[in-house]
């Protein structure tokens, strides 16, 4: 059984969602970032951490990619054009969506107060809005970013949407992007992940 380590209200959700999609059992071990328990596994103190047998894996995108590749689901095969396009969406999510959210978070409650730049937050919100407009142009006609195939790119983007809700970043209430986010949240695996979160609350 996989072990997922980290506070569940974080990027840990991406790993949980991936495992729920794969139908793989896992144990959730809640620990805060930079705690002694996490630093013993990841010197940076960042979460999530995945334990697979004797292997310790870190960084949410790397973990999700590993799980998808290992189980042959939620991904296009490495070395294909489909995989390159999928990776492009994943990188877009990390650079454009998560980048704005993470910068705002660091300057809201993560960095020490004396070095926070609170004036950056409106800039982050504008960057996030610009990224959503780009996402709308890139979506295409399929239900997911890779057409009919749900992939880990959708999981990363979907997590960013949920993060944005908590951070009070504006998102469209109707239209292609809103419909896309609603489709992601309607997936049984998303509901199963949220149920697991409530159990640990």
70 and 107 part of one domain: no
63 and 106 part of one domain: no
Instruction: State the CATH number of the domain containing residue 130.
Output: 1.20.1050.10
At 200 the pLDDT is 82
The pTM score is 0.96
183 and 194 part of one domain: no
58 and 142 part of one domain: no
At 37 the pLDDT is 95
Condensed to tens digits (0 to 9), the pLDDT of residues 137-146 reads 999 999 999 9
Instruction: Say if residues 173 and 163 touch (Cβ distance below 8 Å).
Output: no
* Alpha-carbon span 77 to 27, nearest angstrom: 28
Condensed to tens digits (0 to 9), the pLDDT of residues 85-141 reads 999 999 999 999 999 999 999 999 999 999 999 999 999 999 999 999 999 999 999
Condensed to tens digits (0 to 9), the pLDDT of residues 31-66 reads 999 999 999 999 999 999 999 999 999 999 999 999
Q: Using CA atoms in the order 135, 137, 141, 143, what is the torsion angle rounded to 10 degrees? A: 10
Residue 199 in this model has a pLDDT that exceeds 90: no
**Closest by Cα among 120, 119, 157 to 13:** 157
Domain that holds residue 8: 2-74+190-200
Residue 30 in this model has a pLDDT that exceeds 80: yes
Structural domain count of the chain? 2
Pairing mode of beta strands 49-52, 2-5: antiparallel
42 and 85 part of one domain: no
Q: What are phi and psi of 82, to 5 degrees?
A: -60, -40
97 and 162 part of one domain: yes
């Amino acid at each position: 059984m996989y072990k997922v380590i980290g506070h569940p209200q974080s990027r840990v959700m991406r790993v949980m969602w991936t495992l729920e999609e794969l139908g793989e059992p896992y144990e959730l071990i809640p620990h805060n970032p930079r705690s002694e328990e996490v630093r013993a596994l990841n010197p940076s103190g960042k979460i999530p951490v995945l334990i697979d047998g004797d292997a310790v894996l870190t960084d949410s995108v790397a973990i999700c990619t590993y799980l998808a590749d290992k189980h042959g689901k939620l991904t296009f095969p490495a070395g294909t054009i489909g995989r390159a396009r999928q990776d492009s969406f994943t990188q877009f999510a990390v650079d454009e969506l998560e980048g704005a959210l993470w910068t705002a978070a660091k300057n809201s409650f993560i960095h020490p107060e004396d070095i926070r730049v609170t004036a950056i937050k409106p800039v982050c919100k504008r960057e996030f809005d610009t990224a959503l407009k780009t996402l709308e142009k890139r979506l295409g006609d399929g239900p997911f970013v890779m057409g009919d195939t749900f992939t880990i790119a959708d999981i990363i983007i979907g997590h960013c949407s949920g993060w944005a809700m908590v951070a009070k970043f504006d998102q469209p209430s109707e239209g292609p992007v809103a419909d896309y986010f609603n489709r992601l949240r309607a997936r049984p695996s998303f509901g199963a992940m949220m149920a697991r979160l409530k159990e640990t609350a």
